[in-house]
Amino acid sequence: MDTALFNLEEILDNYTFKGEYCGYSVLNNGHINNTYMINFATDEGEKSYILQQINTAVFKDPDVLMKNYIGVTDFVRSKVAENGGDPKREAVKVYCTNSGNSYFIDKEGRYWRIINYITDTVSYNFPDNAEICRSAGKAFGKFQQILADYPIDRLYETIPNFHNTVSRYADFEAALSADKIGRASSVEKEIDFVKSRKADCAVLLGLLEKGELPLRVTHNDTKLNNILFDKDSGEGICIIDLDTVMPGLSLYDFGDSLRFAGNTADEDEKDLSKVSFNTDIYRSYTEGYLSTAIDSLNDAEIYYLPFSVKLMTLECGIRFLTDYLNGDVYFRIAHPEHNLDRCRTQFALVEDIEKKYDELMALTEKICSQLRSE
């Protein structure tokens, strides 16, 4: 994706801001959209907004994307107000253009939107302590509860089959047989790793088909850095990055969170000896998550919590490997082997989760019985 900066004049033509523009900073910690903070000096001090370039190679229908986005953010905002929270700080708000649209297209054909910047918050790429993880678990559990009665038929699939692990496996097989840029022979070990876990990819979808797992409104990209924490209280107050809110399984959100937060290393760590799954983080996150979500989950949604962490980690590794085989066309990369590094990290993490599986099952059971006896 092109990373050329925004054209300020076009933005000022499309939106009316109070005060004088006084600068921007780049906030790109995601792999998909380009994100900036733009600042204005006003009589009441500096006011900032979040400017995002929507990646239309990934989100192919921006109209549908923004309909979802506005539907969900309006819904969250009104729920927050109903529950006595602060809608200005606990919900994302889309600013419309002067002509009332939720995004605009610049002269180069790039799509842009502007959302609120929430002051006095912090976000983390790495969980510095257990408390952060407990708050993160609580925040995603609460988010799931808030959206529990969002009309699911009003949601479009912004990326079809996003967490469909069977179709992710099929995409991998297609990339492998096409072997577009001749990389397959150099990643045989990784290919075998995926092939030997093919059966795992069908487990949750099988349970969904049998009606044992319910379809819910889920976030689908529950990385730690998609939570804004209040700088003083440490509470996770606002969930961001809502482009992939779609019908899904609660387990996708739980698993993806711990895939990211439970890793003792960075997502693209090259030194695999640093990669392991932190069971203390699992415990804290799960305690937080279940403290807000336990009553709304069925037995299968609880039983498969550890499995979901393994599966979402495997899925993410498969996606990185598939993109590597396809010639790096999806995720933003910083160097040629970046997707391969990310894939290897995910697979090392899968192996460690497999080793610790019984421990994770026991921990989950213990947390549930503690919560149920309270």
Binding site for Mg ion (CB under 5 A): 30, 226, 241
> Among candidates 197, 210, 306, which has minimal Cα distance to 262?
306
Q: Letter for the amino acid at 372?
A: R
Near ligand GN1 in 183-212, by CB under 6 A: none
Longest dimension (CA), the chain: 62
User: Residue 352: which of ligand GN1, Mg ion, none does it interact with, CB under 5 to 8 A by kind?
Assistant: none
* Binding track, positions 261-280, relative to ligand GN1; x by CB under 6 A: ------x-------------
Among 90, 221, 253, 269, binds ligand GN1 (CB under 6 A): 221
Among 316, 321, 343, 368, binds ligand GN1 (CB under 6 A): 316
Cβ nearer to Mg ion, comparing 241 with 269: 241
Cβ nearer to ligand GN1, comparing 331 with 357: 331
Q: Output the CA–CA distances (angstroms, integers) from residue 350 to 107, 164, 224, 310, 357, in the order listed.
A: 45, 18, 19, 6, 10
Task: Specify the DSSP element, H or E, that contains 229.
Answer: strand 227-230
* Separation of alpha carbons 269 and 252, rounded Å: 23
CB of 148 within 8 A of CB of 239? no
Near ligand GN1 in 34-63, by CB under 6 A: 58
Enumerate the β-bridge partners of residue 227: 239
> Among candidates 347, 250, 323, 327, which has minimal Cα distance to 289?
250
Task: Specify the DSSP element, H or E, that contains 100.
Answer: none
Question: Considering the complex, what minimum distance in angstroms separates the CB of residue 163 from Mg ion?
Answer: 15
CB of 148 within 8 A of CB of 293? no
Residues found in the chain = 374
User: Residue 127: which of ligand GN1, Mg ion, none does it interact with, CB under 5 to 8 A by kind?
Assistant: none
Residue 30 interacts with ligand GN1 (CB under 6 A)?
A: yes
Cβ nearer to Mg ion, comparing 91 with 363: 91
Question: Considering the complex, what minimum distance in angstroms separates the CB of residue 168 from ligand GN1?
Answer: 11
Question: Considering the complex, what minimum distance in angstroms separates the CB of residue 325 from ligand GN1?
Answer: 17
User: Residue 58: which of Mg ion, ligand GN1, none does it interact with, CB under 5 to 8 A by kind?
Assistant: ligand GN1
Instruction: Name the residues that contact ligand GN1, by CB under 6 A.
Output: 30-32, 58, 221, 223, 241, 244, 267, 316
